[in-house]
Amino acid sequence: MDRFNLSRRAIRHPALVGFLIAMLFAAGTAQFFALGRDEDPGFTLKEMIVAAAWPGATPAQMQAQVADPIERRLRATEQLDFLQTYCVDARCVIRVSLKDGAPGKSVPAIWQQVRKRLKDIEPDLPAGASVAADDDYADVYGYVFTLTGADNARLVTLAEQARDAMLRVPGAGKARIVGEIPRKLFVDLDGRRLAAMGLSPDAVVQALARRSSVAPSGVAERSMRVPVRIGGAVDGVDTVGTTAVAAANGTVTVGDLGMVSNGYADPPDGLVRHAAKPAVVLAIAMAPGADGLGFGKRLAQAAADVGRTLPAGVRMTQVQDQSRNIREAVDAFLIKFFCALSVVLLVAFVTLGWRTGVVVALSVPLTLAIVALFMGVSGIGLERISLGALILSLGLLVDDAIISVEAMVVQLDQGATRADAAAYAWTHTAFPMLTGTLLTIVGFLPVGFAQSTTSEYAGGIFWVTGSALLVSWVVAVVFTPYLGVRLLPEARAHHDAATLYDTPLYRRLRLVVEACMGRRKTVVAATAALLAVSLAGATLIRQQFFPVSDRPEIIVDVSLRPGASLAATAAAVKRIEAGVVGDRDVAQVDSYVGEGAPRFYLPYGPALPDPATATMVLVATDLRARERVIARLAANHAAPEAKLHIRRLSLGPSAGFPVQYRVTGADPEMLRSIATRIEAVLRATPGTTAVQADWGTPSVAMRLDLDGERVARLGLDRARLAGEVATMMAGQPAGEVLRGTKRIGIVVRGSAAERNDPGRLADLAVSTPGGPVPLGQVARIGVTSEQPIIWKRDGMLCMTVQADMTGDVQASEIAAAAAGRIAAIARSLPAGYGIEEGGDGELSAKANDAIYRLLPITFALMLLLLMIQLQSIGRTVLVLATAPLGVIGAVAALLLTGAPFGFVALLGLIALAGMIMRNSIILVDQVTHNQAGGMDLHAAILAATIGRSRPVVLTALAAVLAFIPLCFNIFWGPMAIVMIGGLIGATILTLVALPALYALAFASPSPLIAQDDRHG
């Protein structure tokens, strides 16, 4: 067996091992500082936005004629989870969401399928309808600049120049300009002049379209190709005004029929404001895999260069700088990392002595250097997850080194040479350590392989921690023996095992262990009772999916009633801005009216475009100021016609509203009635805020009921009539003016007085073959109501009731408090109607289900590892029985600290089971060795517990102290608390309850255990 002893081989080839240590340490150190830095790990956002437009259609027509056919085609999409649709006047938006478990690598191919299906369905849509897909919705634009101080067109030109300069910066990915209002040339027709000339609006549209069209005009083929150009195309206000329109009595110019002017799209699709001033936003996304810190510095320099070229009065301000957030996050974690490293090394020096501590201390940076090489090869950078995993690893990776060097020290004290002591560490501890290491890694396995967005986000915990643990084992059996032979002294006096453990501390421990073994049934029963009490106490712990971020941003979603105009939304935003722009707690205010802010932070989900909504991004001066601003915004409502949803950013995947209930069914009024009852329940539930349904109330619409007989007699038709009314009321495109890279649309419309006064609709002149007639003579004009917005989910009408929480209240607490009353409402619903829970509860359930699906595999692997190591069913069951012991300390720690139990804490609890079994397997393996050496069961258990107590306590102490810096981190805190409490409780129980359980199980063995003993 000596030839398989890696520890002995290592000490026999000192030059090679020393060279490997130096080379790995140097390469790993260089790699560590070369690792990319980012704020958060990337994860695939499995959503695509499909937008369709059909000018003139009502929300119901958009739903029936456009959205429904698109949905039917998209339901065949691979990995589809659900389709969520809303329709408003003239357009609809479909959110295509894939299953949470859809593999991230397959998502681009799935989006390509969606585009092909949309292309195939375009011919089947109504004439004039169009559809487009956008999967850039998931891009993160972490570097955002605003330009203010000029008109929109000038700001857009400057933003385009800045964009071109910044895209040349190494590491730049995509760029996006937000807030551009398209330039237009407006022809405001005078309805009376038009009627007097016997012309229809369509005649003006066609005349302008013909003059502005671009068409080939031939090429003369000589020795040179000479193209023929035809002049006279429209190029501005003057040429539009002089365009001739054929009339019954000759020609007339467009300028004679109305007023021609330059302007901007009215209404625009959206507006952007910075510090209460009109602005244009330039958003830059970093290329995948780039170093955020380096890119941020280069981009800041490029922005400074651009700033020096801006005209007087124009200011460019950086409002989002991801590199600053990366620097703060990485620096904070590095401080915690080095604190944890110092604590671990201090434990080694104080408890093991100077020379022994040096051996353990050297193993830590060597392990981390090799892990850094693995991270570089695997493309894992330094971000929130990987840095936290490194800190967690610090508490674990010294375990093997401590066990290995402690075994060497014991052998040296018993008179062995340093070479024999090093070899002993391999023969007696290497394989139990390997099994224990693999058990701990398997404990993290669910998060590494679970098919969910959440696991994709947090999966680095498995890969970084797993690699660190494997490397630590290799270091413990190859490099630590080499270092031990070099640094540990030869023993000056020889002691037998009894003398080594004959100290006051060990004598007291011996008495405790003997007492527990003597009262083994009582101890085991007490442990089981303690576990049961802990499981019951777990129901008192607050539940949480992901915590809120420690970034200072405040997101204020402003919602007016569906159907509200962009102008009304902008007015409400201005009043809210007036109350916060001068607030000393607010460093910055940016408003996006009619559209969401760019995705400047990965877990942030931008709002979908809607004229009745706006998003305000407030940056507080610090976290305390953030809470004060939130309180003032909630209390002082400057725009009572608007609903405000005030929220903080989340540290992981989250829903816009943490509390959601979806009501599905066929009748909108019934849905509204059910939603009203749910709203009442949520408003009566303590801790809720921003309770609202997403449909709003019916809105007013003008209705024209045509007189069919008169329409026919006058030679009119419905389509022509609708076109003329649409042209005069909303405007109709009539060609384009080409100016540089821009295309300025020509819009023909009625005068402002005719467009903005519904009362004048009856007097609107419509053209007929016999001359113009007032619209009131061919139609009865009345007022009706309609749904301004229609939401559907998977083809069914769906009204969602949404709410947020106040203060430190968790979404799970609100859901639990409202569950009984919501269930009562659900039981009273008629057939065909249902209530589903959404929000963070649904996301948490999906993430946890993905973890739970892998638990059987995790359990099976743990069982297999234990059987390979122990070769005994009885001892395997015994070790498995210790796995839940961590729950006792974990629950106590969470209850004492008040920390919530979330997804990350769940991962810690699962991994804790592997860590506990790691200690148990080493102790149980030692009992087996002792019995093989001739000891009876009682003496073997006692000797193993006493002999293994120091490494068990030291490894637990190192881990607990290393986790302490993480306790104060918002994201990692609950996990660190779980592992600290669990390890403390489990370590104590391993030394007192495990011996009692072992004695109880094997003192009077069953036939199965006896068989295990004979073959083990």
Token pair for 961: 């102290």
Token pair for 4: 């398989």
Using CA atoms, how far apart are residues 34 and 382, in angstroms rounded to an integer?
Answer: 10
Question: Is the pLDDT confidence value at 712 over 50?
Answer: yes
Question: Is the pLDDT confidence value at 581 over 70?
Answer: yes
Give me the mean pLDDT over the 969-988 stretch.
Answer: 88
Using CA atoms, how far apart are residues 1011 and 153, in angstroms rounded to an integer?
Answer: 87
Least confident window among 62-71, 278-287, 572-581, 967-976: 967-976
Give me the mean pLDDT over the 568-588 stretch.
Answer: 90
Give me the mean pLDDT over the 379-404 stretch.
Answer: 78
pLDDT category of residue 143 using cuts at 50, 70 and 90:
very high
Question: Is the pLDDT confidence value at 430 over 70?
Answer: yes
Give me the mean pLDDT over the 689-701 stretch.
Answer: 79
Token pair for 366: 């060597």
Using CA atoms, how far apart are residues 1016 and 517, in angstroms rounded to an integer?
Answer: 23
List beta partners, residue 186: 261, 747
Give me the mean pLDDT over the 600-607 stretch.
Answer: 81
Question: Is the pLDDT confidence value at 146 over 90?
Answer: yes
Please tell me the predicted confidence (pLDDT) of residue 288.
Answer: 76
Using CA atoms, how far apart are residues 360 and 341, in angstroms rounded to an integer?
Answer: 12
Question: Is the pLDDT confidence value at 1 over 50?
Answer: no
Using CA atoms, how far apart are residues 734 and 184, in angstroms rounded to an integer?
Answer: 11
pLDDT category of residue 570 using cuts at 50, 70 and 90:
very high
Please tell me the predicted confidence (pLDDT) of residue 149.
Answer: 92
Question: Is the pLDDT confidence value at 1014 over 50?
Answer: no
Largest Cα–Cα distance in the chain?
Answer: 126
| CA dihedral of residues 872, 874, 877, 881 (deg, nearest 10) | -130
Least confident window among 169-173, 564-568, 640-644, 716-720: 716-720
Instruction: Give alpha helix (H) positions in 213-281.
Output: 237-241, 254-257
Cβ neighbours of residue 498 closer than 8 Å, sequence gap 6 or more:
none
pLDDT category of residue 618 using cuts at 50, 70 and 90:
very high
The pLDDT tens digits for 89-118 are 788 889 898 888 888 788 888 989 999 999
Please tell me the predicted confidence (pLDDT) of residue 873.
Answer: 87
pLDDT category of residue 1008 using cuts at 50, 70 and 90:
very low
Decide which of 680 and 636 is more confident: 680
Q: Work out the mean pLDDT of the chain and round it to a whole number.
A: 83
Least confident window among 716-730, 833-847, 933-947: 716-730
The closest of 673, 655, 671 to 663, measured between CA atoms, is: 671
Please tell me the predicted confidence (pLDDT) of residue 136.
Answer: 67
The closest of 32, 107, 93 to 63, measured between CA atoms, is: 93
The pLDDT tens digits for 197-242 are 878 888 888 888 887 776 666 677 777 777 777 766 677 788 888 8
* Contact criterion met (CB below 8 Å) for 40 and 550: no
Whether residue 108 is preceded by a cis peptide bond, meaning omega within 30 degrees of 0, is: no
Question: Is the pLDDT confidence value at 589 over 90?
Answer: yes
Using CA atoms, how far apart are residues 772 and 711, in angstroms rounded to an integer?
Answer: 12
The closest of 296, 310, 314, 312 to 144, measured between CA atoms, is: 296
pLDDT category of residue 973 using cuts at 50, 70 and 90:
confident
Instruction: Give the H or E element holding residue 757.
Output: none
Question: Is the pLDDT confidence value at 962 over 50?
Answer: yes
- Counting residues of the chain whose pLDDT is more than 90, the rounded percentage is 19
Please tell me the predicted confidence (pLDDT) of residue 1015.
Answer: 44
Please tell me the predicted confidence (pLDDT) of residue 278.
Answer: 93
* Contact criterion met (CB below 8 Å) for 947 and 340: no
Give me the mean pLDDT over the 835-844 stretch.
Answer: 86
Give me the mean pLDDT over the 273-283 stretch.
Answer: 93
C-alpha distance from residue 871 to each of 299, 438, 829, 926 (Å): 61, 17, 58, 14
The closest of 522, 816, 577, 814 to 691, measured between CA atoms, is: 814
Give me the mean pLDDT over the 506-530 stretch.
Answer: 89
* Contact criterion met (CB below 8 Å) for 441 and 470: yes
Least confident window among 554-568, 616-630, 906-920: 906-920
Give me the mean pLDDT over the 261-288 stretch.
Answer: 89
pLDDT category of residue 155 using cuts at 50, 70 and 90:
very high
- Counting residues of the chain whose pLDDT is more than 70, the rounded percentage is 95
Please tell me the predicted confidence (pLDDT) of residue 138.
Answer: 62
Cα dihedral across residues 122, 123, 126, 128: positive or negative: positive
Token pair for 679: 């709203």
Token pair for 990: 């391993």
Using CA atoms, how far apart are residues 384 and 405, in angstroms rounded to an integer?
Answer: 33
**For the chain, how are helix, strand and coil distributed in percent, rounded to 5?**
55, 20, 25
C-alpha distance from residue 509 to each of 503, 525, 788, 957 (Å): 10, 21, 75, 17
The pLDDT tens digits for 434-473 are 888 888 888 888 888 888 777 777 788 889 988 998 998 8
List beta partners, residue 558: 614, 644
